[in-house]
Amino acid sequence: RGISILRTLYSTITETGPSQSLVWFAPDTPKTSVYVPLDHRAASGVSWTFSKGNHQEFDRTAAWWAFGFVNNWMQLNYEGMSEQDVYPMMKEWQDNIDAEWGEARQLDPKLIKDWQMHLQEQLAASWWRLADRLVWKYNDMSTTTPNITDRSDGYPEWYAKMIGYSQDVHPIWVQPVPRPDATLPGYVASTVVLPRAWDESAEQWVDWA
């Protein structure tokens, strides 16, 4: 089953061995999160911001809410936010963490604990800044940058075409078509036949198109 979905609370990657046990922890959805190391020698090295979070109370002191907010706001313009903002920041943080951990893992357990907690607090603060930036950058179905104000982020032409968009003011009832428009981007011709309905009484698929 998929683990990187909107309702994912957190994910872990575990490293075990005779000399060291380590858990990489990422709040919220893995696809838009960053993994931080939790070393067994610094078991209490979890910052206050990484140890709280309640579904029923939006809390700016909780790292989990920072990642959850960003992931939810991205649904307004996932392509734009992922490519321009979130993914580059994820890569930068993950690369830095991987590089720093190579040295930090050699430290005394007390120093590892301090490093872990400082890292978590810095990451959470950075993600809240990202969240704030996404709010003003992607607002009212438009994009604002230092050089552009309120650039409309309309639906792509292929999508408007697919749902039958036109200048007609009457309601449009979208229905299946025998064959998709082959000019749509990414179109791949079907190689199998699938049924359209399930007959409960006969307990079989019907209306094979």
> Along the 209 residues of the chain, how does pLDDT read in single tens digits?
678 888 899 999 999 988 788 999 999 999 999 999 999 999 889 999 999 999 999 999 999 999 999 999 999 999 999 999 999 999 999 999 999 999 999 999 999 999 999 999 999 999 999 999 999 999 888 888 878 777 887 778 888 888 888 888 898 888 877 778 888 888 888 888 888 899 999 999 998 86
> How many Cβ atoms are within 10 Å of 133's Cβ, its own excluded?
14
Which segments of the chain does DSSP mark as H helices, in order? 63-73, 78-81, 87-104, 109-137, 157-162
Q: What is the pTM of this model?
A: 0.80
For residue 208, what is the enclosing H or E element?
strand 204-208
Angle in degrees, CA 124, 130, 133, rounded to 5: 145
Angle in degrees, CA 143, 69, 52, rounded to 5: 155
> How many Cβ atoms are within 10 Å of 205's Cβ, its own excluded?
12
